[in-house]
Amino acid sequence: MGSPLHVVLPEVFEENIASLRTAFAETGADVDVYFAKKANKAGCFVSAASALDAGIDVASAPELVQALAGGVPGHRIGVSGPEKDDALHSLAVQHSCSVAIDSISELRRLATTAQRARRRVRVLLRCRTAGQPGSRFGMVSAELDAAVDLCVGLSEHVWFQGFSFHLNGYSPQERATAANEMIEHCLEARRRGARSADVVDIGGGLPMRYVEPRLWAEFLKRNEPDHYHGTKAAKGFSFYPYGGQSPAQAARTLMNHPVDGTKSLAAKAADNGIRFIVEPGRALLDQAGFTIYRVQQVEDRREADGYAIVTVAGNSLSLSEPWFNTDYLPDPVLLSAEPAADELFPACVAGSTCLENDMVTWRKIGFPRPVRPGDYLVYLNTAGYHMDFLESRFHDAPLPAKAVIRLGEDGPPRWRLDGI
Ligand SMILES: Cc1ncc(COP(=O)(O)O)c(C=O)c1O
């Protein structure tokens, strides 16, 4: 099936939905979980979400079509993404999806589309939060009152449900503060006549724990520029918080966060008849996939440079992270017939394109034995954004296949190719 090969595990994804639902329920909050489809293109995750009646968050017409084709009913689909075009609006109206609106002009366009279709469309108004006023997404407070009034005036075609927001970063506390602002917006909207305002969409951004916090802290303490190939480290890093809270811990921190003195976000929402939507992408894909590269060649530069360059079949666009000012930090697992050696074998990992920057791992990894052509490197936990976010048909190469594995109740595990 070629190299790299992505393996996806929908049963793990299903367990993640269940444990996130439990974590939120334990806080007393009413939370509806939507999967942010952008985090992985595999169709198996859409059908798994559909089977568990989870919603899907989409940001484009093709994503919406994929969600419908995977069996998700339109009323379980939320459409986000900035300033959506009329074609996407029209699909959303036709299939009774809910739409997060970014501006008053977008609201007017959507209402016109709904009016022409003689339908009523569910709407959330996206706000800029006080904590991130420079965001390019959403409306400021002054625009919100006008948008709410417009929704009330257009209520024949607009079913106003509440508010959403976009927040960069993974802090549950900051997300709780922003969610509290949205509750206040709902209360103000009710005062303005929009009595149906009872939804706060808190977006995604639940952190995921790739490694134990202790190991992560240790790594950060010891991390040095000369641990990396080339000039990568000179530009400085902005690493994902690989050793942060787990999604379930973050869900509890978020909902238990005190917002009015001692009252928790969950309690304030319950007191005011507010329900939440959460749209995790990465967090629902925790351990739901991995990526296998075949080793093509190994150039041993240990004598000259102190480390080798392992070239794999495929490229780093199938891991995405190394193209940002970061690196995919968890060590790949080396599958080799060779026995473990006494000494570590230091090597970085390169892709097989003609790009100088095509490095799958910039960091010099200490492999437990020398790496040989024909060995395999397994990058774990890659389903959340890594495997297909930036994938490319560069050099006319086919896009990597995704093998779906299900363990099932009894019998051996079964596999099939995704999308077939
Ligand atoms: C509107 C919206 N929802 C959900 C997500 C998913 O975020 P994450 O994968 O961090 O959970 C994003 C990420 O960009 C987003 O913009």
Determine the pLDDT at residue 9: 98
Domain count, the chain: 2
Q: What residue's CA is closest to ligand 1, atom 16?
A: 166
Q: Is the pTM of this model over 0.85?
A: yes
Same domain, 76 and 160: yes
Distance 159 CA to ligand 1 centre (A): 24
Distances (CA, A) of 279 to 37, 42, 56, 76, 251: 9, 17, 8, 12, 12
Determine the pLDDT at residue 261: 86
Residue 206 near ligand 1, beta carbon < 6 Å: yes
Distance 103 CA to ligand 1 centre (A): 19
Q: Which atom of ligand 1 is nearest to the CA of 205?
A: 10
Distance 164 CA to ligand 1 centre (A): 12
Same domain, 120 and 259: yes
Q: 356-361: long-range contacts at Cβ-Cβ below 8 A with a sequence spacing of 24 or more? A: 356/230, 357/323, 358/315, 358/316, 358/317, 359/229, 359/230, 359/232, 359/316, 359/322, 360/293, 360/312, 360/315, 360/316, 360/319, 360/322, 360/328, 361/322, 361/327, 361/328, 361/332
DSSP 3-state assignment of 296? strand
Domain end position, chosen among 285, 315, 342: 285
Same domain, 91 and 110: yes
Same domain, 166 and 310: no
Same domain, 169 and 81: yes
Does 383 fall in a domain? yes
Domain end position, chosen among 285, 316, 351: 285
Give the CATH number of the domain where residue 357 resides.
Answer: 2.40.37.10
Does 82 fall in a domain? yes
Same domain, 308 and 392: yes
Residue 166 near ligand 1, beta carbon < 6 Å: yes
Q: Which residues pair with 159 in a beta bridge?
A: 122
Does 129 fall in a domain? yes
Distance 238 CA to ligand 1 centre (A): 18
Determine the pLDDT at residue 1: 78
Same domain, 331 and 377: yes
- Give the CA-trace dihedral at 371, 358, 322, 204, to 10 degrees: -120
Does 250 fall in a domain? yes
Residue 243 near ligand 1, beta carbon < 6 Å: no
Q: What residue's CA is closest to ligand 1, atom 5?
A: 204
Does 224 fall in a domain? no
Residue 279 near ligand 1, beta carbon < 6 Å: yes
Residue 280 near ligand 1, beta carbon < 6 Å: yes
Determine the pLDDT at residue 337: 87
CA dist 258 and 237 (Å) reads: 33
User: Residue 52: which domain range?
Assistant: 10-209+245-285
Same domain, 310 and 204: no
Does 229 fall in a domain? no
Same domain, 363 and 409: yes
Same domain, 273 and 358: no
Two tokens, residue 17 = 């939905």
Same domain, 306 and 279: no
Does 334 fall in a domain? yes
Same domain, 398 and 249: no
Domain end position, chosen among 254, 285, 316: 285
Q: What residue's CA is closest to ligand 1, atom 13?
A: 204
Q: What residue's CA is closest to ligand 1, atom 10?
A: 205
Give the CATH number of the domain where residue 201 resides.
Answer: 3.20.20.10
Determine the pLDDT at residue 141: 86
Determine the pLDDT at residue 125: 98
Distance 198 CA to ligand 1 centre (A): 21
Q: What residue's CA is closest to ligand 1, atom 14?
A: 204
Per-residue pLDDT of the chain (420 residues; tens, 9 = 90+): 799 999 999 999 999 999 999 999 999 999 999 999 999 999 999 999 999 999 999 999 999 999 999 999 999 999 999 999 999 999 999 999 999 999 999 999 999 999 999 999 999 999 999 898 889 999 998 899 999 999 999 999 999 999 999 999 999 999 999 999 999 999 999 999 999 999 999 999 999 999 999 999 999 999 999 999 998 888 788 999 999 999 999 999 999 999 988 899 999 999 999 999 999 999 999 999 999 999 999 999 999 999 999 999 999 999 999 899 999 999 999 999 888 888 999 999 999 999 999 999 999 999 999 999 999 999 999 999 999 999 999 999 999 999 999 987 788 899 999 987
Determine the pLDDT at residue 339: 85
Residue 203 near ligand 1, beta carbon < 6 Å: yes
